Amino acid sequence: MSLFDNVDDLTGRPLADRMRPASLDGYIGQKHLLADGKPLRQAISSGHPHSMIFWGPPGTGKTTLGKLIAGYCDMEFITISAVLAGVKDVRAAVARAQQLQQEQGRRTLLFVDEVHRFNKS
């Protein structure tokens, strides 16, 4: 086996995506919310996370935490950027979530990145 046997694994995804933790235990930070017995950990463990807003500078793990929650709760993860998306995109995401619920019984986590930049039109 050589370093280049799995080249596709090394180059197929962006570095940030490849470096994301695969479990909540690998997530660094937010222990006041994610430690055993804490509010967010309990919501995730119950399989019924609630609506929430993550706030912080770029690169602090907001999207990663959203993906981990969706994975742990067996939810579809749909992300839209409020910078680029409009009402049409939100409606499409909601329609997709409804379709998944009806056809597969699967819930959806809708992650709206940069929500403070969202334009109502």
If phi > 0 it is left, if psi is from -120 to 50 it is alpha, else beta; for residue 46 that is alpha
Please give the full DSSP string across 43-77, using - where no structure is assigned. HHHTT-PPP-----STTSSHHHHHHHHHHHTT-EE
Reported confidence tier of residue 4, pLDDT bands at 50, 70, 90 = low
Predicted local distance difference test score (pLDDT) of residue 18: 87
pTM of the predicted model, to two decimals?
0.83
Retrieve residue 67's tokens. 């993906």
Q: What is the mean pLDDT of the chain?
A: 89
Identity at 56, one-letter amino acid code: G
Note the pLDDT tens digit of each residue in 26-44: 999 999 999 999 999 999 9
Domains in the chain: ranges and CATH: 7-117 (3.40.50.300)
Reported confidence tier of residue 14, pLDDT bands at 50, 70, 90 = confident
53 CB contacts (<8 Å, ≥6 apart)? 115
In DSSP terms, 77 is beta-bridged to: 109
Identity at 3, one-letter amino acid code: L
Residue 68 has pLDDT above 70, yes or no: yes
Reported confidence tier of residue 118, pLDDT bands at 50, 70, 90 = confident
Reported confidence tier of residue 2, pLDDT bands at 50, 70, 90 = low
The answer to whether 103 touches 71, Cβ cutoff 8 Å, is no
